Structure 1
Amino acid sequence: MTDIEDQLCEELRHPSWVNFVFSLLIAVGIVLSYLPQHFRIAIRKSSRGLSPWFLLLGAASSACALANVLLLSTDVLSCCSMISGGQCFAASLGVIQVSLQFAMFSVIVYLFIAFFPRDPQLVSDWHRAVYTVVAVLVHYIITFILAILFHKFGSVASVESYAVFLGMQGTVLAILQYLPQIYTTYKFQHPESLSIHSLLMQAPGSLIWAITLAMRPGTEWSTWMPYLSAAVLQGVLLSMCFYYLRLGRIQLPLDNDLVPANDASDQDIEEDAEPEELVISFFDENAR
């Protein structure tokens, strides 16, 4: 072990408790922020309204982010044999966070194909959905095989170069990821299967996550930039969802669950109304 690695391990013996607490809360928040999206698709028994391109680009971006942080955290993880279990856990939280995000987004991809509408008129859309999942799996395999090869046989410079490439690719994909979903939401003029509750947690959470990742040892700008980009675009998508739900209640209903605000009182809101619509109703009533 080199002097630089010894110094790094010594730093990890004295973790920042502030960063540790925030990192731990973010790890829990990542899981909680995706659960509403999972439940929304499962309860509706439909993934209608989710863009295949949004899922493909998002899955590819999360895979790049995970491979990036694994490669850049190799020295940090190697220190686990030199420090206590608690110190190793604190040092590994960055990797744990990205791994959780990768896993939770992969669940959305699975739910997307499992609950895709079975409609004879949507055969071409079904084929597109299948191709999307296949492309996601192929990208996973290629990304992680290359990461393993670079880690095992590459020089330090080549590993860092590949990690930076993954970070840049992840940033571009994170930006492109939300453009198809923004277009799909604009086309439907409604969130459909997109969960506002998830976006409410993910937009500010991604921003805080990017900050904590930037503060962690062993990470570079290529590690946290995808999450900063995602936070901005999640905010745009969230604003669109609120706008269309509010517009739908004031003008014309966009589906059977929507009740125009001008024609409904508190007692008129149906029991099966969407949770996001009740949020909009609450905001409307308090604004009067």
Structure 2
Amino acid sequence: MHDICHLDSDWFVNALATFLIIGLVVSYCPQHLRIIQMGSSEGFSPWFLLLGSTSSAAGMLNMIALSWPTIQCCNDVSVGKCLEITAGVTQVVLQWVLFTAILVLYMIYYPARLKYVDIDIPAHGTLPPQHVKTKLLSDDWRLSVNVSWAVTTHLVLITIVTFFLLLTRIQEPDGEVPRQISLWATCLGVSSALLAAIQYAPQLSRTYHSKLVGALSIPMMIIQSPGAFVMSISIALRPGTNWTSWAMYAVSGIMQSALLVMCIAWKFRQRRLKIDDFGYSLDSSSSTPLTDDIDTVVGEVSDPQVGDMSFDSDAEDAREDVPLLAKPRHSARSSRLFGWLRL
């Protein structure tokens, strides 16, 4: 442990770590601020948030497990040296905090009008159908709450297992990482990389079929795409880590780069068709998208209390194959900060 705790300072690695920490905050803050300023998280896919949160949590605990001897050095060195040798851990913890904050904001600012099922009841004669609000929870809101509990349960379980192994570890004579911790860290790292790959697959498919950029931030992706590869290199240079620690960030960088290229292509297409990021004409005040890729959707109420009745689901906002966020519309903030914990 003496060698790990008293490694010579590497100005390049330290500068790289500092740059990445600042870059993480700069790249995520616009998304956090946008949700807060709009007062709505409408359009986010719960599956995207589920996979991203669990992936970042697994990657964080993988890094903590493999860097535990380095973390323990903070008991014997100065604060400055502690911050220097644990910069890699700080990066992955910050990554998890910033992404999970999106999920938290998503639940807090979930539009109240989308939490319950609305039903159109046919009227007699030529009268328009009557729009009725019910007390039935919408399928998307139920899914969102279940996703939140799944993320919390996953985090609690893998945290308990990780720290149980770390606190009961028996130091190997040769100083190597104990086999059980190595196997658990590998499991966390591989699952993190797989979840990161799956995380972007639905978004790539949705953006491809919608042929619109929507609310996806091209500047954010320009920062994060190369940043993921730089972060992979930074983590790989840290003592005690292996390929499972940086694989998630490499996979994320590849997938996000593909999404960035696709969005740039759609940006040129939108300019040629003279439409905005949501498919609306730039030459008129029409509120109807001009592309054929966005249609009005009619859903069905699956709750047995109502039966097979049709209801309007706010057109493209309820579709899973539209851009990440629908055309911006302000909505009231949820009255209770933790009201989403109850179904």
Where does the alignment leave 5 or more consecutive residues of structure 2 unmatched? Answer: 119-136, 171-177, 284-343
**1:127-171 deviation per Cα after TM superposition (whole angstroms, max 9, x unaligned):** 222221121111111111111111123552111110111001101
Which structure shows the higher strand fraction?
Answer: 2
| Higher CA-based Rg | 2
Pairwise CA RMSD of aligned residues? 2.0
Match for 2:6: what amino acid?
A: E
Residue 267 of structure 2: aligned partner: 245
Residue 180 of structure 1: aligned partner: 202
Task: Please report how far the alpha carbon of residue 259 of structure 1 lies from its aligned counterpart in structure 2 after TM superposition.
Answer: 2.1
Residue 217 of structure 1: aligned partner: 239
Residue 85 of structure 1: aligned partner: 79
Which structure shows the higher helix fraction?
Answer: 1
When normalised by structure 1's length, the TM-score is 0.82
How many residue pairs get matched? 254
Residue 24 of structure 1: aligned partner: 18
Residue 140 of structure 2: aligned partner: 125
Residue 189 (structure 1) aligned with residue 215 (structure 2): no
Change (3 A) 1:23 1:211: same
Aligned counterpart for 1:111 among listed residues 105, 109, 116: 105
Task: Please report how far the alpha carbon of residue 258 of structure 1 lies from its aligned counterpart in structure 2 after TM superposition.
Answer: 5.6
Change (3 A) 1:75 1:226: same
2:188 and 2:221 map into 1 onto residues whose CA distance is 25
2:43 and 2:209 map into 1 onto residues whose CA distance is 9
Contact 1:61/1:170 (CA < 8 Å) preserved in 2? Answer: yes
Change (3 A) 1:146 1:246: same
Contact 1:196/1:241 (CA < 8 Å) preserved in 2? Answer: yes
Divergent runs of 4+, >4 A: none
Contact 1:65/1:98 (CA < 8 Å) preserved in 2? Answer: yes
Residue 128 of structure 2: aligned partner: none
Residue 259 (structure 1) aligned with residue 259 (structure 2): no
Change (3 A) 1:251 1:207: same
2:39 and 2:214 map into 1 onto residues whose CA distance is 12
Change (3 A) 1:116 1:189: farther
1:242 and 1:187 map into 2 onto residues whose CA distance is 15
Change (3 A) 1:46 1:239: farther
Residue 318 of structure 2: aligned partner: none
Residue 228 of structure 1: aligned partner: 250
Residue 67 (structure 1) aligned with residue 87 (structure 2): no
1:211 and 1:257 map into 2 onto residues whose CA distance is 42
Change (3 A) 1:252 1:135: farther
SS at match of 2:41: coil
Contact 1:150/1:159 (CA < 8 Å) preserved in 2? Answer: yes
Residue 46 of structure 1: aligned partner: 40
Match for 1:123: what amino acid?
A: S
Where does the alignment leave 5 or more consecutive residues of structure 1 unmatched? Answer: 261-288
Q: Bigger CA drift: 113-122 or 36-45? A: 113-122
SS at match of 2:6: helix
Change (3 A) 1:189 1:123: farther
Contact 1:65/1:167 (CA < 8 Å) preserved in 2? Answer: yes
Aligned counterpart for 2:159 among listed residues 135, 138, 144: 144
Provide the identity percentage. 33
Change (3 A) 1:165 1:56: same
Change (3 A) 1:27 1:154: same
1:185 and 1:49 map into 2 onto residues whose CA distance is 13
Task: Please report how far the alpha carbon of residue 49 of structure 1 lies from its aligned counterpart in structure 2 after TM superposition.
Answer: 3.4
Match for 1:174: what amino acid?
A: A
Residue 6 of structure 1: aligned partner: 2
Contact 1:207/1:227 (CA < 8 Å) preserved in 2? Answer: yes
When normalised by structure 2's length, the TM-score is 0.69
